[in-house]
Structure 1
Amino acid sequence: MKVLLTGGAGYIGSHAATVLIEAGLDAAGESFDAPLDYYANNVEGAIGVPRAMAPAGIRTLVFSSSASVYGHHRYIPLDDGHPTEPVNPYARSKLHVEEMLWVLANSGPGWRIACLRYFNAAGAHPSGIIGENPRGAPNNPISRIARTALGELPHLNIFGNDYRTADGTAVRDYIHVMDLAGGHLAALNYLMEHTGWHAVNLGTDKGYSVMELIGTFERARGVSVPRQVVTRRAGDVAACHADVEKAATEFGWRATRTMEEICRSVWRFQKKRRVPPSVDPRPGRFETEKAVAGYFDYFPLLQCRKSVPDPASTTKKTVVVHVGTSKTGSTSLQTFFHNNREALRVRGVAYPSDGAYYHGNGHHVLARVIKGKEYLYHWIDPEDPAYSEERCIRQIRRHILDNPCPVALLSAEEFWHPMVPPLLGAVFDGLDVRCRIIAYVRRQDQWLLSDFNQRVKTLGYHGGGFEDFVREEMSNPNSFYRHYPVLSGFARVFGKQNVTVRVFERSALGGGALFQDFLSLLGQTMGPDLAIPESENTSIPWELIYLIQQFNSYSGLGVGERLALNRQLRQLTSRMDFHDLDPLSPELRREILSHYRADNALVAREFLGREDGRLFTCPENRDSEVSGASTGPHPVPASVPGADPVREAHSPDRTWRQPPPVSLDKLAKIAVYLWRANEVDGQPGTP
């Protein structure tokens, strides 16, 4: 699908452009003082676009409206059916366009129009590159708070503290701009199947007062914000927030980011905005960069571009990036690389690994740093200078250049994200290296099964059963289970000829076959100098998974206690006879494969050259694939020795049936085991 995005260089439009690109789409990218400017921009422009669309046979349009069309509210929360009574020229211009589009939608069949009524957009892109940066003072109070904290404004003006609210200051609904951008993608997906005119609120269903904003920001950043109370502004209301039920039920969309995340992202953007890089990026370096106006302007990662000299040798090195798709043996591969790094170095393959810089055995910190520090917040101090962009990028560049090996290998699950390709490209910009991307993809029904198993084991999922998990992921327009958005991003940045796509299934690439397959892509073979590691992140029976999930939902245990309990429960796999049920019904399996079929067909055609569009070649009731051909300079065998490309996922003892509850007899045995496992000095403990 191709999307014309008007206003793509603006605050909301630039964020919408990144979301559209991440989804694999091709995107080309004050009212009382100047009322005629608002009418010219909003009304005249909105007339021109549909006028050009109609002759071209294009009848799908998403219009950026505003919650200001409601005017003085008669009740809150404001639902989509609230009367529209705009009180300023900006709001009137938006309502005029909505009415015009309503008439257009009813003028003939086939029109698909969504009017998105924004509440208060706030926040910035997680990379810190894009955000609200008006020429004058920002209208957004959170941006004003950040600029005041940075000393750019002497103090924050609070317009009135005598409203009938809890603390006397005005209450508004603030939505993260990335959630807002996701709402556009959800609207497009909805319009693919529905005609007519639709007006929908995009908000959070929660209001924050000005004083609550200040308090949240101060706590999140550890700074003090000077402020003063001034008189109210004309037309301001005491409180306002959205009813977003229609967006949830029709679009399958809800805002997910918190006020703390909004404050952190604004602070990050405002700090980066103040420090231009020492070396400007070359214009037009990447195709992706052209699609998002200003996306690479003042890119902080490029400050370190010339800090490390290019190698004296004229021989170009190769950087191989293993995009470790979740649940495709990535952890095992990283352990293999890490444990055999000396043997690989002798073979001419360097695997940089530097303790804290690379969490575990992969390059996860590198991936998270280039995406933006908010990806690190849950496990490190975000202000730790060791995780600064410049230091981390400088380190990896030095490892690549100083090592005599002609090949450097990087690996991380965190690279599997649509925003990574251009950012990773910038890391290598200025180095005389050639980049190759290797990605293993997995059929989504098996991927979802394995991922659910993993999330329950590690307390990452507290929702309902497996089917609820599947529904949640399939309704998410930004779900990372879609292969094409990520792979097409790497192709745009590094060239499709440098992207190698391999199909992963356990029956074909289990055991040592995966390591042999990856080595073949490097022109290497297995040998006695390379040790195969023990299995990592092994699956456990589904009957036990359901039991662990019940313990996860028990509020009487802390996270540490639940993790310890889960480890003990997993040890029961070898001690007790648990049934390895298949939680995936045939109907749900077909629904999953149908949902992702179009995306998989794009990958098959563009990356594997399969004109029939079949990415996974085995029958849909099987869990096995022959590892098909791939793009890239190295020939790849059609199959791996020892693989069984026709083994069924559903063996006779693993046919699908509704999972029964764990028997009381088995629960009693589990209780006794845990009781004994928690003995202290010979005395039984309490599990």
Structure 2
Amino acid sequence: MQIVLHIGTDKTGSTSIQNTVFLNRDWLAARSVYVPVTGLGEGNGHSRLFRNFTDEAQRALAREVRLASDRGYRQVLISWEGLASFRFGRRRIRALRAALCGFPIHVVVYLREQAEIIQSGHLQQVKRNRNTLRIRALEQPRTPLERVRAFIALNNPNRNYYRLLRRWQRCAPGSTFAVRIFDRRQLVGGDVVTDFLGALNICLDAGFVQARPNYNESLDVEGALLIESLQQRLEYQADMVTLVDLTQSVINLEGQSTKHFLSESAVASIRRHFRRSNLRLARHFMGCDTSPFEESGNCWRIESLAAIEARAAQLSRKVDALRQIPTLMAEAAGGDIAAMVDLRQGWCGARPWGVWSSGDESRIRFRVYRHRLLQEIGSLRLLVAGRYYGGNRQTHVQINGVDFGDQVLTPGGCELEIPVAALHANEVVEIILRHHQPISPSVLEGGRDIRALAFGLERVGYVLLRKHR
């Protein structure tokens, strides 16, 4: 039996590979590839296994490896992006090797040209709200401290791929290595998942479940510049997750603008810095005498940073407009409803228990977090529940154009499900409630209250449902 160790480097399709492995664990098992469940996550491989890699986790992994061997599996597949970090040091590599019970290790790793990955990786760090050097300071440092930080960032030792693999080779002697370049022109079928399955000697067939593409979406430079500016303002810091989600939503709807922020001279400097280590990588691990990135294309900006910053200002206005539609995490209830969703038409003032409808038609609008839809989600189950007034017992419901007819909207009364594809632009949900017999308390009970009431909204929200339940 062989251990296949996928060392995921960032922005090389690792998330797509790991989601595919999670969705197709049984399919892989039927082809004699065992994926350990210890520490396995949906979109991050064996992250939970390796983050601490305690003695108990090592013993649990060893038990699964022995079980796979006893059952006659051909391969055991383990994957995590953190294995590429120098923080996963020699001691941990040796501990992992011990937990793998002496079985031969085959390392599969995808690599991306350094000048490209340093830029896309920086955009990813901005998206994750990490404390990074700002793009302008990275590209045009002014102070001595900025120049030092920029030099370290642009010549990041973690991008020395030869040192990375040599460390694994020394700590796990006897391991074999399959080094693949993340370039669609060089991948089997132009797709990293197909290429990775080929590395396992597996071909796609009818039973394979395709994962949704673009699990790890990228900001463009304009989006990163906007996020950087928002991160500097105290009033936005508590809301950065939502602001990043809004920005990504606008970018994905309109298309990416600028991918690169470094100048041509900065890119040339990075390539000179890593040229020697890339040649050593090619000779030692790839069996060739030329740099694996000889055919790398242009990855520098073709205009001034000021021009890109002007587009970032335009993007800011679009994000601010979209922000007027609340983004709902899961559910709003009682007196919080009016603040957490957009009661855009046909509602009275909020009460501690919720809000009464007003007139013949009421509308509710909110956004769903885009980043939560990037997992294997197929549909949303909508919750609309409350109380009725007068002789009203049912409500006609329409959600994003899907007509559900008359429904009883009391607690536990109905389930309303729409596919993800039915979401409006920017992941917006719009619920239209049509009331049959609105009536005012002045008519029913006497007094001066002339509001036309029918339905009192007490809870509204949603649950995300997987495609494969």
TM-score class normalised by the smaller sequence: 0.5 to 0.7
Q: Secondary structure at the match of 1:621?
A: coil
Match of 1:674 in 2: 323
Cα distance, 1:320 vs structure 2: 0.9
Match of 2:246 in 1: 568
Match of 1:611 in 2: 289
Q: In structure 1, what is the Cα distance between the partners aligned to 2:44 and 2:190?
A: 18
Higher strand content, 1 or 2: 2
Match of 1:531 in 2: 209
Judged with a 3 Å threshold, the aligned counterparts in structure 2 of structure 1 residues 574 and 545 are, in CA distance, closer, same or farther, namely: same
Match of 2:104 in 1: 434
For structure 1, which segment, 467-476 or 395-404, has the greater mean C-alpha deviation from structure 2 after superposition?
A: 467-476
Alignment of 1:600-679 (within 5 A): 600-612=278-290, 614-618=291-295, 620-622=296-298, 655-658=302-305, 659-662=308-311, 667-677=316-326
Match of 1:500 in 2: 178
Amino acid across the alignment from 2:67? D
Judged with a 3 Å threshold, the aligned counterparts in structure 2 of structure 1 residues 421 and 335 are, in CA distance, closer, same or farther, namely: farther
2:175 counterpart of 1:472:
no
2:3 counterpart of 1:329:
no
Match of 1:290 in 2: none
Cα distance, 1:537 vs structure 2: 1.0
Q: In structure 2, what is the Cα distance between the partners aligned to 1:578 and 1:519?
A: 29
Judged with a 3 Å threshold, the aligned counterparts in structure 2 of structure 1 residues 673 and 437 are, in CA distance, closer, same or farther, namely: same
Q: In structure 2, what is the Cα distance between the partners aligned to 1:588 and 1:478?
A: 14
Q: In structure 2, what is the Cα distance between the partners aligned to 1:478 and 1:558?
A: 28
Cα distance, 1:655 vs structure 2: 3.8
Q: In structure 1, what is the Cα distance between the partners aligned to 2:110 and 2:256?
A: 31
Match of 1:554 in 2: 233
Cα distance, 1:432 vs structure 2: 4.3
Match of 2:222 in 1: 543
Q: In structure 2, what is the Cα distance between the partners aligned to 1:501 and 1:466?
A: 34
Q: In structure 1, what is the Cα distance between the partners aligned to 2:340 and 2:34?
A: 47
Cα distance, 1:532 vs structure 2: 2.5
Cα deviation 1:31-77 (Å, max 9, x = unaligned): xxxxxxxxxxxxxxxxxxxxxxxxxxxxxxxxxxxxxxxxxxxxxxx
Q: In structure 2, what is the Cα distance between the partners aligned to 1:416 and 1:361?
A: 14
Match of 1:586 in 2: 264
Q: In structure 1, what is the Cα distance between the partners aligned to 2:90 and 2:237?
A: 38
Whether the 8 Å CA contact 1:338–1:361 is kept in 2: the answer is: no
Judged with a 3 Å threshold, the aligned counterparts in structure 2 of structure 1 residues 407 and 516 are, in CA distance, closer, same or farther, namely: same
Judged with a 3 Å threshold, the aligned counterparts in structure 2 of structure 1 residues 436 and 549 are, in CA distance, closer, same or farther, namely: same
Cα deviation 1:378-429 (Å, max 9, x = unaligned): xxxxxxxxxxx22110111111111222210000011113454553333333
Q: Secondary structure at the match of 2:311?
A: coil
Q: In structure 2, what is the Cα distance between the partners aligned to 1:360 and 1:592?
A: 31
Cα distance, 1:452 vs structure 2: 1.1
Q: In structure 2, what is the Cα distance between the partners aligned to 1:411 and 1:595?
A: 29
Cα RMSD, aligned residues only: 3.2
2:94 corresponds, among 418, 425, 443, to 425
Whether the 8 Å CA contact 2:18–2:79 is kept in 1: the answer is: yes
Whether the 8 Å CA contact 1:325–1:439 is kept in 2: the answer is: yes
Aligned-pair identity (%): 22
1:455 corresponds, among 98, 116, 125, to 125
Whether the 8 Å CA contact 2:282–2:289 is kept in 1: the answer is: yes
Judged with a 3 Å threshold, the aligned counterparts in structure 2 of structure 1 residues 359 and 576 are, in CA distance, closer, same or farther, namely: closer
Higher relative contact order (CA 8 A, sep 6+): 2
Calculate the TM-score normalised by the size of structure 1.
Answer: 0.43
Q: In structure 1, what is the Cα distance between the partners aligned to 2:189 and 2:249?
A: 21
Cα deviation 1:532-564 (Å, max 9, x = unaligned): 3122112233212211221122222344x1111
Whether the 8 Å CA contact 1:490–1:499 is kept in 2: the answer is: no
Q: Secondary structure at the match of 1:544?
A: helix
Consecutive unaligned residues in structure 2, runs of 5 or more = 140-146, 328-338, 345-364, 368-469
Q: Secondary structure at the match of 1:660?
A: helix
Judged with a 3 Å threshold, the aligned counterparts in structure 2 of structure 1 residues 408 and 662 are, in CA distance, closer, same or farther, namely: same
Judged with a 3 Å threshold, the aligned counterparts in structure 2 of structure 1 residues 526 and 362 are, in CA distance, closer, same or farther, namely: same
Q: In structure 2, what is the Cα distance between the partners aligned to 1:578 and 1:435?
A: 39
Match of 2:396 in 1: none
Q: Secondary structure at the match of 1:661?
A: helix
Cα distance, 1:365 vs structure 2: 3.0
Cα distance, 1:580 vs structure 2: 2.5
Q: In structure 1, what is the Cα distance between the partners aligned to 2:179 and 2:313?
A: 47
Whether the 8 Å CA contact 2:246–2:319 is kept in 1: the answer is: no
Q: In structure 2, what is the Cα distance between the partners aligned to 1:393 and 1:323?
A: 18
Match of 2:159 in 1: 481
Match of 2:403 in 1: none
1:407 corresponds, among 75, 86, 111, to 75
Match of 1:640 in 2: none
Cα distance, 1:603 vs structure 2: 0.5
Whether the 8 Å CA contact 1:512–1:532 is kept in 2: the answer is: no
Consecutive unaligned residues in structure 1, runs of 5 or more = 1-316, 371-388, 623-648
Match of 1:519 in 2: 197
Q: In structure 2, what is the Cα distance between the partners aligned to 1:479 and 1:453?
A: 18
Q: In structure 2, what is the Cα distance between the partners aligned to 1:321 and 1:496?
A: 14
Judged with a 3 Å threshold, the aligned counterparts in structure 2 of structure 1 residues 513 and 502 are, in CA distance, closer, same or farther, namely: same
Whether the 8 Å CA contact 1:581–1:656 is kept in 2: the answer is: no
Alignment of 1:92-171 (within 5 A): none
Alignment of 1:356-435 (within 5 A): 358=41, 360-370=43-53, 389-403=54-68, 404=71, 405-418=73-86, 419-421=88-90, 423-429=92-98, 431-435=101-105
Judged with a 3 Å threshold, the aligned counterparts in structure 2 of structure 1 residues 467 and 592 are, in CA distance, closer, same or farther, namely: farther
Whether the 8 Å CA contact 2:221–2:261 is kept in 1: the answer is: yes
Judged with a 3 Å threshold, the aligned counterparts in structure 2 of structure 1 residues 584 and 407 are, in CA distance, closer, same or farther, namely: same
Cα deviation 1:350-377 (Å, max 9, x = unaligned): 11124x665854112333324xxxxxxx
Match of 1:319 in 2: 3
Whether the 8 Å CA contact 1:454–1:537 is kept in 2: the answer is: no
Whether the 8 Å CA contact 2:2–2:105 is kept in 1: the answer is: yes
Q: In structure 2, what is the Cα distance between the partners aligned to 1:656 and 1:496?
A: 49
Judged with a 3 Å threshold, the aligned counterparts in structure 2 of structure 1 residues 600 and 466 are, in CA distance, closer, same or farther, namely: farther
Cα deviation 1:166-220 (Å, max 9, x = unaligned): xxxxxxxxxxxxxxxxxxxxxxxxxxxxxxxxxxxxxxxxxxxxxxxxxxxxxxx
Q: Secondary structure at the match of 1:433?
A: coil
Q: Secondary structure at the match of 1:525?
A: coil
Cα deviation 1:435-458 (Å, max 9, x = unaligned): 111111211011111111111111
Calculate the TM-score normalised by the size of structure 2.
Answer: 0.61
Q: In structure 2, what is the Cα distance between the partners aligned to 1:414 and 1:573?
A: 28
